[in-house]
Structure 1
Amino acid sequence: MEGIRVTAQPIFEEVAVSGSLSPFQQSRISAEVSGYVAAVHVDAGHEIRQGQSLADLDRELNQIDLQVAEAQVQRARAALGKSRRRLAEVDALIEKSYIAETQVKDLAAQVDIDQATLRAAEAEVARQQALLTRRRIEAPFNGIVARKLTEVGQWVDPGDELFELITPQRYFADLQVPQRYFSRIQAGDAIQLQLSDLERSRSVATVEQKVPLARDQGRTFLLRARIEKDGDQATIRRALIPGMSVSAKLRLATGRSGIAVPRDALIRYPDGRVTVWVTGGGSAYGAPLPVTEVIVSPGISFSGQVEIRSGLTEQAMVIVTGNEALSEGLQVIVRKPE
């Protein structure tokens, strides 16, 4: 049978929590201008690249407005050229006193007005070009179309949701944790994740951030963890979807040390007693030693071990396997666990 020597070690507390998967990026795409949908280029499930066209709004009216604005620019340039020529002509006459100074100032003011009119017309052209560009709905990042919410011919206004995009390559685990543990969790802490819908899908995650806001109903706060690696990464990542439920174990330091034994070493009786079997007269491996049953007071459990608050001392040899068939004074040979 197998046994171990118990020594003092840091005591941890394990807290089971649950939550769901969230994509690294998730965006609801809407139009910035009004119009009816002239073309839709993607559907739900399509992979898209940043800058790729998702849909186009009708451009006819905007193109007409742009042509009007460009005509206004030409008109303003012509007016500015005319006023500049008139100003140049009177500048030559003012030295000979052939024209009043007031008239010269009026012509100079007209040049300033025409310059401002030209700048306004050019700004309107830029505005119409920007509006025309915004009639092409583009993907803001690489990802997958999670939902398509528009069709050709539909009228849309600014803010109307057209598509939902996600990035499936990276995920966060958003966990709801009881508020009493808030101060004991820090960014960078490692936690163990279990994807609820997949077998053998344990993952290591790192605490990314904790949100300092307690939910009124559950008295929990949001803990966001970044998934680092998976047991079977390729298989699991193909099966991951946003919203999938996850469970996690938080391993929190208690700030104290003590004795802990494997959970299999404990024997629990119907009357509430909890005991372990220890060797007497020594703690050597490979030598026949008598065993005795000791009543212990267990504490918290963590990582397959149970804290022993009283009943054991350091360096005691505790029987881990085969302890159910032991009796007082029986001699056994103990070996190290594999």
Structure 2
Amino acid sequence: MISNHTARCLLWGMLCLITLPGIAEERPIQVTTAQLGDVAVYQEYSAPATTLSLNESRISAETTGVILRIPAQVGDRVERDALLTALDCRDNQLNLRKAEAGLAGIEARVTLATRQIKRTQSLRKTSSVSEERLNQQEADLQIAEADRQAQLAAIAEARLNQQRCEIKAPFAGVVRERLAGEGEWVNPGQPLIHLIDLERLEISAQVSVDRVASLQEAGKILLETNQGVYPVRLRQVVPVVESLGRNREVRLQFSDGRALPGSSGRLLWQSQQTYVPADLPVRRGDTLGLFTVDQGKARFVPLSQALEGHPTQVDLPADTLLVIEGRQALSDGAAIELAN
């Protein structure tokens, strides 16, 4: 039989053992956790950008003449090969007729020279004509053939000049400006219509040198304008650094939808590098770091480049379990228990 005094002593001893510091430290600390991928943040960047048309052309006259009419008005959308300006080219029509008439005369010469050669060749069998005469006739035929080829080229040029009396749109676009008026005499090379392509567009943006790599790695790039937000894709980073702004020009293309040419906005993208929020790292000694879960233990992962008050870059798998609540009371290797 154990006396009451002995029982009280045993109970007191057990309570002392329970409250010993070494034993208390072994009790698991309750914490909450989250996967890195659920709490990660990604740096957002932006850069000024402008929508440009790849074809912004001043359509010029290719022949001389008086402008008869300009059916295209400022703001009109025109299709490819639509009539922009018509010229009075009666001179070109007369030149074409002259060239065709000249060809008829040359064809007669070729026919005559051919017949003469055939007759001379038949007479040569009876030695009635000299070989010199035959040679002369063959030379005349060659000259006539050469004149015919030159005249055919002249006819082609006259027809081309006649076609140039109608100035047509080289691409589908919108008329930005009329640069001449009806009744005006124009010369080759004189601009008549300012036309902008609405289909072949690109975005030009100025990106800081240290952010170009993040743009190239970005999974999603957006152009934000006052007309809306458009998904775009990177086409080219121009291999030149501007000496003043230390920027590089990048060219992008629309993926879906298009902003109007000349639209200004901001290029938006996110870095693919994983960061943790500024308030998540804790300090142990002189080092900031994160607590992760490793087989029921807390493991301190130092972040050598971490700065207090700033998001910190990490290179851990997205499914890494991070201690969220209760991390301030932890030390490396401490036993932990996940809170319900």
Q: Provide the TM-score with structure 1 as the length reference.
A: 0.69
Amino acid at match of 2:323: A
Mapped pair 1:307 → 2:307: no
Change (3 A) 1:125 1:104: same
Computing the radius of gyration from Cα coordinates, the structure with the larger value is 2
Give the aligned partner of residue 242 of structure 1: 261
The correspondence for 1:136, drawn from 150, 166, 189, is: 166
Amino acid at match of 1:151: G
* Fraction of identical pairs, as percent: 24
Amino acid at match of 1:244: S
Change (3 A) 1:183 1:35: farther
- Alignment partner of 1:249: what SS? strand
Contact 1:34/1:157 (8 A) holds in 2 = yes
How far apart are the structure 2 equivalents of 1:205 and 1:38?
A: 44
Contact 1:49/1:143 (8 A) holds in 2 = yes
Aligned CA-pair RMSD: 3.4
Amino acid at match of 1:210: V
Give the aligned partner of residue 204 of structure 2: 174
Contact 2:74/2:176 (8 A) holds in 1 = yes
Mapped pair 1:71 → 2:101: yes
Change (3 A) 1:221 1:229: same
Contact 2:116/2:137 (8 A) holds in 1 = yes
Change (3 A) 1:106 1:298: farther
Q: Provide the TM-score with structure 2 as the length reference.
A: 0.68
Query: Aligned pair count?
Result: 269
Residue 177 of structure 1: how far off its partner (Å):
1.3
Counterparts of 1:41-80 in structure 2 under 5 Å?
41-80=71-110
Contact 1:189/1:207 (8 A) holds in 2 = no
How far apart are the structure 1 equivalents of 2:207 and 2:179?
A: 34
Amino acid at match of 2:177: R
Residue 184 of structure 1: how far off its partner (Å):
5.1
The correspondence for 1:219, drawn from 243, 246, 250, is: 246
Residue 127 of structure 1: how far off its partner (Å):
0.8
Contact 1:174/1:225 (8 A) holds in 2 = yes
Moved more, 143-152 or 179-188: 179-188
- Alignment partner of 1:38: what SS? strand
Contact 2:218/2:272 (8 A) holds in 1 = no
Give the aligned partner of residue 36 of structure 2: 7
The correspondence for 1:297, drawn from 307, 311, 329, is: 307
Change (3 A) 1:204 1:4: farther
How far apart are the structure 1 equivalents of 2:217 and 2:123?
A: 79
Mapped pair 1:89 → 2:119: yes
Q: Deviations along 1:221-271, whole A, 9 cap, x unmatched?
A: 2212222236xxxxxx6xx432121111233445xx5x513x7x68xxxxx
Counterparts of 1:1-338 in structure 2 under 5 Å?
5=34, 7=36, 13-23=43-53, 25-169=55-199, 171-182=201-212, 185-186=215-216, 190-195=220-225, 197-198=226-227, 201-229=228-256, 240-254=259-273, 257=274, 259-261=275-277, 297-298=307-308, 306-307=311-312, 315-317=322-324
Amino acid at match of 1:297: L
- Alignment partner of 1:212: what SS? strand
How far apart are the structure 2 equivalents of 1:216 and 1:224?
A: 19
How far apart are the structure 1 equivalents of 2:136 and 2:237?
A: 67
Q: Which runs of 5+ in 1 are unaligned?
A: 231-236, 267-274, 279-295, 301-305, 320-333
- Alignment partner of 1:146: what SS? strand
Contact 1:76/1:118 (8 A) holds in 2 = yes
Choose between structure 1 and 2: higher helix proportion. 2
Residue 170 of structure 1: how far off its partner (Å):
6.1
Amino acid at match of 1:148: R
How far apart are the structure 2 equivalents of 1:66 and 1:250?
A: 61
- Alignment partner of 1:140: what SS? coil
Amino acid at match of 2:307: S
Q: Deviations along 1:81-126, whole A, 9 cap, x unmatched?
A: 1111211211111111111101101101111111111111111001
Choose between structure 1 and 2: higher strand proportion. 1
Contact 1:173/1:246 (8 A) holds in 2 = no
Amino acid at match of 1:22: L
Contact 1:47/1:143 (8 A) holds in 2 = yes
Q: Which runs of 5+ in 2 are unaligned?
A: 1-31, 281-287, 292-305, 315-319, 327-338
Q: Deviations along 1:16-69, whole A, 9 cap, x unmatched?
A: 210211235433322222333222111111121111111012211111111111
